[in-house]
Structure formats: structure tokens, C-alpha cells
């Protein structure tokens, strides 16, 4: 690791890869002016691990959404593999997307650009009278950077209150959040598994569990419902984004984001497969229902639920495992990496999301944020692959021309 760098990019997921390819397309001379730091020391490690662990066969995003600047690059790459683009919107298979990203990394000569390491502290410092960032890694190494881009997911598993209140000790593998579940290698024959949550992750877990011989109960506070994308396609262009970006109230923008994503949903194809499993007796839906409490008794869970549906309570059924497909929550106020920045440059934070400037910069310093935490500027698709392109369109010009957009947000910004 060099002692200093112009740009430090923290995270090596698809958003970071998107940023780097767009940066190099805009100005190839930037190649030697940045470093990428990620715990795994390689591109997209966590992304591939999560897709493999949940045995996800294909992406939910169409083939035009990917890390390369050319929107048609993936389709061109897939010309010899047309059966790996799934209808109705050419959704790439997981294997195809992985191979394509590998080709992008090779084509842009980025294979060795990720440094392995975990950044634990990010501190503002002065070097020759100029503001810099000191990055301290878990192994003691340090790096000074003039500019920093946070390209991290930053969310923490959302654990329901009833799960937090369980007082008994129990085998840890009997209650897991989806973030910590790897279907590969699990033996589930004869088990009864309760999956809590109505999103696509719950569907993948249900398919994986039934394929391994488990009996599955899927529970959600709402009706399970289907839609192709987690946010309407209008959010991928000016149809909805124009009105969103014209909204002056940051609180109202946050509400628009919640309404657009509307909690968890599954794709029509997924719901069709789940209903088929229901007819075959391998799966039961508990809709408009939620867990009241769960107790570990002997070698199984006893679950008490609040139900408004016609089905009976679960109390009489011993549950072998509970899987929480309850998503994650994001609050930058809880990000240790931002503690020093927040102390020196306080700013408005709306329900956990920072009010960044137009270029996704933390006002007052050379720190940029992309991904879900940039949603107040980018809208509900900020966390998606397309969100990486939207973020790059704003960040790259500011990195190439540092004087661009330096003005601070007006003090009159709506809180």
C-alpha cells in the first residue's frame, strides 16, 4: 500500500467498479491516482458470495444495467449465450453477469487494483497546510488520501423486536438473518423452517429450503405480491426522477423513496414457483401475520403469532429453524467511518440518510458517498446497479475537475 494517494475508494462492489470504469473513460490519466480498498482484496467478492449463498439464478436488473460505461456491452458479451438472458427484460444469469464483470475488469486492466484491508478509521488531517484524510486499517497500515469515496453498502441486518427479546440460549444456526445464511452445503431434510419477510430474498430461501427437503412456512405482515422490479421502471429515467429532484423537501423525498420501494416484493416468476410449491404441500403462506414471540424449547422453536388471517396459530408446530429475510437498515449516524467527518462538518441527516450536495459530496470536505446512502439525491434506485451509473455521472466530473461544485449547500436546505 502506498503511503498516500489522490483518491481512495473504500469498497470494491459493483458500484465502485462502475465508478472506476466511468472515471477511466472520462480521463485515462486518472489510472495511477486512485486506490481501491476492500476486506476481500478483490472485486465483487461480497456480491458473488451473496448470490452464491442464496443460489440466485439471475439478476432482477435488465442487461443494460452493469458496471461498464457502454450500456450495450453485456448484450454484446452474451451473443453466444442467449439462453442466459431471461425474459421479459433480458435479465442476465448470475453466471453470465459474473463472467461479464470479469471481462470488464480485464478489459480495463483493474484486476490488481484492489488492496486487501479493512478501513477502521477515517480521520481528517492536515498535510502541508491542506486538508487530507488519514485511513487507518485493521492491521495497522495507514494511508493518506486527498479525496475519499465511500462505496460501501453500510446497512445492518434488521432484526425484529421479538427476535431481540429472546432470552433463552439456543444454537446460533437455528435463528439466522438472511445476511448470514449460505444454502450451499446445508442438510435440511425433514425440517420445518419459518421464513419471515415478503421480499425476493425470502423467495430464494424458500426455494433453497424446499429443494433440500424442508417444509417451509413463509410469513409476512402483508400479502405476498409480485412486481418485476423493486422500483418501477419510471425511476430509471426522467419520468419519475425529474419530479423527485424538483422536490425541495428532503423529508418528502424520503417519503417518496419509501413509497416507490413499497417494502418487499417478489417477481411474478418467483411467486408462480412459490404458489406451485404451496399446491404441492411443501410450503405454507402465513400472510397478514407476524410473530409475537418465539421461545426455544428443547430442540425446537415454539412460535406465537399475531394473526388476522384464517390460518391457525403456529404454537402447536415445532419449528426447527427461523430465517429472517427482513432486510437491512441504514443510518449514517451509526457509521464509525463518518464520526470524525460528522464532528467537523455537521449536516442534516434525514431518517439515516445524509443530505449530500449535487455531486454526492459531503458538504465542506472532499468525501463522496455512493450507493443506498445517496438516495436523497439519486432516488429509490440508488442502491441498484443503475444507481451506480447515476452516482458515477455526478461524482466523476467532480473528481476530474476538483473545482466543480465546491459550493456548500445553502443554509436554507429543508430538514
Pick from 278, 306, 327: which residue ends a domain?
Answer: 327
Q: Which of 173, 134, 151, 381 is nearest to 260 (CA)?
A: 381
87 belongs to a structural domain: no
Write out the chain's pLDDT in tens, 415 residues. Answer: 899 999 999 999 999 999 999 999 999 999 999 999 999 999 999 999 999 999 999 999 999 999 999 999 999 999 999 999 998 889 999 999 999 999 999 999 999 999 999 999 999 999 888 999 999 999 999 999 999 999 999 899 999 999 999 999 999 999 999 999 999 989 999 999 999 999 999 999 999 999 999 999 999 999 999 999 888 888 988 899 999 999 999 999 999 999 998 878 999 999 999 999 999 999 999 999 999 999 999 999 999 988 645 556 788 899 999 999 999 999 999 999 999 999 999 999 999 999 999 999 999 999 999 999 999 999 999 999 999 999 999 999 999 998 775 544 333 333 3
Q: Which of 327, 354, 370 is the last residue of a domain?
A: 327
Residue 387 and residue 316 share a domain: no
Same-domain status, 316 and 348: no
Which three three-digit cell numbers place residue 26? 472520462
**CA–CA separation, 278 and 374 (whole Å):** 39
- Identify the domain boundary among 297, 327, 357: 327
CATH code where residue 306 lies = 3.50.50.60
3-state helix/strand/coil string of 150-187: ECCCCCEECCCHHHHCCCCCCCHHHEEEHHHCCCCCCC
Same domain membership, residue 336 and residue 320: no
Question: Residue 395's Cα: distance from chain center in Å?
Answer: 19
In a domain, 25, yes or no: yes
Which cell numbers hold the place of 61? Answer: 436488473
CA distances from 205 to 31, 52, 166, 196, 274 (A): 41, 12, 23, 10, 11
Same domain, 301 and 282: yes
Judge if 271 and 359 occupy the same domain.
no
206 vs 323: CA distance, rounded Å: 10
Assess if residue 277 is contained within a domain. yes
For residues 15 and 142, state if they share a domain: yes
Does a structural domain hold residue 282?
yes
Instruction: Say whether both 33 and 115 belong to one domain.
Output: yes
Cα 300 to chain centroid, rounded: 32
Tell whether 78 is covered by a domain.
no
- The domain in which residue 295 lies consists of 159-227+265-327
- Domain count of the chain? 2
Beta bridge partners, 8, equal 35, 148
176 shares its domain with 220: yes
Which pLDDT value is given to residue 312? Answer: 62
Same domain? 8 vs 30: yes
Residue 51 falls within a domain, yes or no?
A: no
Q: Going by C-beta distance under 8 Å and a sequence separation of 6 or more, which residues neighbour residue 367?
A: 133, 147, 148, 149, 150, 341, 361
- Clarify whether residues 217 and 364 are in a common domain: no
Cell 463522496 identifies what position? 368
Residues 170 and 308 occupy one common structural domain: yes
Alpha carbons 335 and 43: distance in angstroms, whole number: 22
- One domain for residues 151 and 25: yes
Q: By C-alpha distance, which of 403, 352, 303 is closest to 156?
A: 352
In a domain, 291, yes or no: yes
128 assigned to some structural domain: yes
Cα–Cα distance list, 303 to 2, 15, 237, 405 (Å): 54, 40, 45, 54
- The CA distances from residue 271 to 160, 202, 228, 384, in Å, are 24, 11, 11, 22
pLDDT at 287: 93
Amino acid at each position: 500500500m502506498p503511503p498516500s494517494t489522490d483518491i481512495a475508494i473504500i469498497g470494491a462492489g459493483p458500484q465502485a467498479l462502475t465508478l472506476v470504469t466511468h472515471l477511466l473513460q472520462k480521463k485515462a490519466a486518472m489510472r495511477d491516482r486512485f486506490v481501491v480498498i476492500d476486506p476481500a482484496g478483490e472485486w465483487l467478492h461480497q456480491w458473488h458470495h451473496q448470490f452464491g449463498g442464496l443460489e440466485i439464478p439471475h439478476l432482477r436488473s435488465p442487461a443494460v444495467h452493469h458496471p461498464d460505461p457502454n450500456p450495450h456491452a453485456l448484450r454484446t458479451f452474451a451473443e453466444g449465450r442467449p439462453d442466459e438472458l431471461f425474459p421479459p427484460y433480458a435479465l442476465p444469469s448470475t453466471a453470465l453477469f459474473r463472467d461479464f464483470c470479469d471481462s470488464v475488469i480485464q478489459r480495463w486492466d483493474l484486476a490488481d487494483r484492489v488492496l486487501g484491508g479493512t478501513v477502521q478509521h477515517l480521520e481528517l488531517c492536515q498535510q502541508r497546510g491542506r486538508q487530507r484524510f488519514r485511513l487507518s486499517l485493521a492491521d495497522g497500515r495507514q494511508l493518506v488520501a486527498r479525496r475519499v469515496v465511500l462505496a460501501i453498502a453500510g446497512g445492518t441486518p434488521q432484526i425484529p423486536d421479538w427476535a431481540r427479546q429472546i432470552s433463552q440460549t439456543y444454537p446460533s444456526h437455528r435463528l439466522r438473518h438472511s445476511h448470514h445464511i449460505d444454502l450451499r452445503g446445508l442438510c435440511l431434510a425433514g425440517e420445518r423452517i419459518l421464513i419471515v419477510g415478503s421480499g425476493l430474498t425470502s423467495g430464494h430461501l424458500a426455494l433453497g429450503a424446499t429443494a433440500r427437503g424442508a417444509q417451509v412456512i413463509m410469513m409476512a405482515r402483508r400479502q405476498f405480491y409480485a412486481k418485476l422490479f423493486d422500483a418501477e421502471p419510471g425511476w430509471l429515467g426522467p419520468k419519475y426522477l425529474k419530479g423527485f429532484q424538483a422536490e425541495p423537501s428532503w423529508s418528502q423525498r424520503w417519503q417518496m423513496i419509501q413509497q416507490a420501494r413499497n417494502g418487499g416484493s417478489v417477481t411474478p416468476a418467483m411467486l408462480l414457483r412459490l404458489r406451485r410449491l404451496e399446491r404441492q404441500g411443501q410450503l405454507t403462506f402465513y400472510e397478514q401475520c407476524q410473530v409475537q414471540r418465539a421461545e426455544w424449547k428443547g430442540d425446537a422453536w415454539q412460535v406465537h403469532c399475531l394473526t388476522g388471517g384464517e390460518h391457525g396459530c403456529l404454537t402447536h408446530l415445532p419449528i426447527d429453524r427461523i430465517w429472517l429475510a427482513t432486510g437491512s437498515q441504514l443510518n449514517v449516524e451509526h457509521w464509525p467511518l463518518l464520526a470524525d467527518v460528522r464532528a467537523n462538518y455537521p449536516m442534516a441527516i434525514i431518517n439515516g440518510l445524509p443530505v449530500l450536495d449535487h455531486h454526492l459530496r459531503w458538504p465542506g470536505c472532499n468525501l463522496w458517498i455512493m450507493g443506498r446512502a445517496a438516495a436523497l439525491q439519486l432516488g429509490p434506485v440508488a442502491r441498484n446497479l443503475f444507481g451506480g451509473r447515476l452516482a458515477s455521472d455526478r461524482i466523476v466530473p467532480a473528481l476530474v475537475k476538483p473545482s466543480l461544485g465546491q459550493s456548500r449547500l445553502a443554509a436554507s436546505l429543508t430538514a
